[in-house]
Amino acid sequence: MDIKKDVAVSDSGFVFYPTTGESFSVNPLGMEIIRLMKDDKSFDKITEYVVDHYNVESSTIEKDLLDFIEMLNHFSLMEDDGEG
């Protein structure tokens, strides 16, 4: 999962992208997922992690994770190939 290397996440839920100077806010699960992505975890691994830790069906998190990645792409925070 190739999130751009210089994307920075703070403990309080802020994401900063120095290249454009833009900042973003994330909710707790969004922050966890960005951290997992920065640790090079695959889509499936992240899904598994969320299902293990949260009260959620895998179909729901799969759909929501795809949506989340779409938003990261939309904000140009993913490496260009975009593939996980």
Site residues for another protein per CB under 8 A: 14-15, 22-30, 32-34, 50, 53-56, 60-61, 64-65, 67-68, 70-72, 74-75
**Which residue's CB is nearer to another protein, number 40 or number 63?**
63
Closer CB to another protein, residue 40 or residue 53? 53
**Amino acid at the residue 75:** F
**DSSP class of 55:** S
Query: Quick one: 67 or 81, whose CB is closer to another protein?
Result: 67
Distances (CA, A) of 32 to 43, 48, 51, 60, 61: 13, 13, 13, 17, 13
Closest distance to another protein from the beta carbon of 73 (Å): 9
End-to-end CA distance of the chain, in Å?
4
